[in-house]
Amino acid sequence: MTIEKGVEVMTDKRIEKAMAEDLMAQYGAMVSVTDISKYTGFGRQKVMALVRGCREFGAGTGRRYFYAEVAEAVMKGGGLK
């Protein structure tokens, strides 16, 4: 974390960590596309594109993704709205 002119500025890694903690608190360790969409405000298609490289657990509509990987994917693939 850096301080610029008395204002605390969060680095990308700190934002990612905070997002991961928030996802875990709200949805648990395994999050669905719907959970991610609600959290980020992104549509399902964008969320599906973001999690394409994440490991999937489950099958069909029961697919889930590990919260920390999701936070990393969101930060790398487009951030928040």
Q: pLDDT truncated to tens, each residue of the chain (81 aa)?
A: 455 566 666 788 888 999 999 999 999 999 999 999 999 999 999 999 999 989 999 988 789 999 999 999 998 886 554
- Write b or e for each residue in 49-60: b if 16 or more Cβ atoms lie within 10 A of its Cβ, otherwise e: ebbeebeeeeee
pLDDT given at position 51: 92
Tell me whether residue 58 is in a domain.
yes
pLDDT given at position 81: 47
Grouping H, G, I as helix, E, B as strand and the rest as coil, residue 20 is helix
pLDDT given at position 79: 57
Tally of domains in the chain:
1
Tell me whether residue 55 is in a domain.
yes
pLDDT given at position 8: 65
Tell me whether residue 15 is in a domain.
no
At position 75, the amino acid (one-letter code) is: M
Answer for the pair 64, 58: CB distance below 8 angstroms, yes or no. yes
pLDDT given at position 59: 83
At position 23, the amino acid (one-letter code) is: L
Residues 6+ apart with CB under 8 A from 66: 29, 30, 31, 54, 55, 57
Tell me whether residue 23 is in a domain.
no
